[in-house]
Amino acid sequence: MAGLPDEPGTSATTTSDAQSPTLANMDTTNDASMPSCDEIIEIDPDGDLLLYTKPGLALGGRFRFRPVWKAMLFGPWKEPKPADDSGWAVELPEDPAYEFRIVLSIIHGFVNRVPSYLLISTLFRLLILVNKYDITHTMTPWCTKWETPALGTLVGPLVPKGLYIARELGHKNLFICRLAHIAVNTWVEGDFLVFRDSSTMARDLDGIILQDEDYLGPTDVLDVIFNIRKAVIEKMTAPLIEDLEALVDSTPRCTTSSISNTSTRRLCDAAVLGSIHRGMIQRRGSILPRESSCITESVVHLASELFPMMDEIQTLESHSSQCSLKDKYKKHNITLHDGVTTIARGFLTPEHRAYMASKRSKTGLENQPALSRQRYW
């Protein structure tokens, strides 16, 4: 076998003890004790054990990493090896078949069967599997190639998978990038955080409920995403809230007219204030809440409303050069956007960093490539 094929359907694999009857001598066809499967995929011709994985793949080979096999096959919840040398089958229904074959090929030293390229979804399931059995270190020779697709631009449901992949590979900068992407595209709907990628939102209106994701990140990942989102929203809206307060202050904000010309200055402030309120109603359907907790849309969606609105602010005709807020918010837009990753980085805890450092020591990905800058809005 030159390499592993694409993900198979139902099939079977074996792994073995050299003193026992081999897989070739097993008759699984008429053995009622054996789970049914469509195909037996041979890992080791001397194998005597059938491992039934999801969706029914049976695999075979020798025990090369005994601590691993002890946990997988000899725990109190697993089927013991029959004393009468009859067919031995262990069911691992939660383990994905194709990824399990990759693990067995690595463990048995059949490196020519290990694929050099993995799809994001395959790498995601493989990392779940090796983390479960604490054998991440076995992937080291392939991690540099396998991580390549994960470093690129991901969209839709692949983004949460990319977050988990980054953490399990120990790629800190990539993890921060994915955190930021998810945080700025997350909506708050009641008690749920819903990720709707702005690049695929037109065809994926339902989004992904992050609380439903079993494999996303550290135990506090939902809090981290929520807090990054909150911090970006507060930084986005703070200048606008300050300007709105200044426009209704007893001292006029306008600086074009002379200080003594209070009525003209108030008229200018009223023009700017009315323009902002009109823009909010037209684009949002309501006035922007002062409290970030009252804003339920995503950061990206809010930015698509707020910054175009501020670009349309009107002033008194002769006051446009000094009293207009357009340039201020153009600069604010750029500064905020480019600072999203920095904001996300600030929410990484020492525990997050230590975990990824430990993973890097296993994956060998100490040299992390630079990431291209991502556009959020």
What tens digit of pLDDT does each residue of 157-190 get? 999 999 999 999 999 999 999 999 999 999 999 9
Domain boundaries, the chain: 12-115, 149-220+350-363, 228-345
CA–CA dist 11, 197 (Å, integer): 36
Q: What distances in angstroms separate CA 20 from CA 72, 80, 223, one per listed residue?
A: 19, 14, 52
Res. 40: pLDDT tops 70: no
Parallel/antiparallel/unpaired status of strands 88-96 and 49-54: parallel
Q: What distances in angstroms separate CA 246 from CA 133, 236, 242, 275, 287, one per listed residue?
A: 60, 17, 6, 15, 17
pLDDT digits over 252-302, tens only?
Answer: 888 776 766 888 888 888 989 998 999 999 988 888 898 999 999 999 999
DSSP 69-86: HHHHHSSTTSPPPPTT--
- Which 3 state secondary structure label does DSSP give 329? helix
Global pTM value: 0.80
pLDDT digits over 52-94, tens only?
Answer: 665 555 555 444 444 555 655 555 545 555 666 655 666 666 7
Q: Which two tokens stand for residue 78?
A: 């697993």
User: 153 Cβ partners below 8 Å, 6+ apart?
Assistant: 372, 374
CA–CA dist 283, 294 (Å, integer): 17
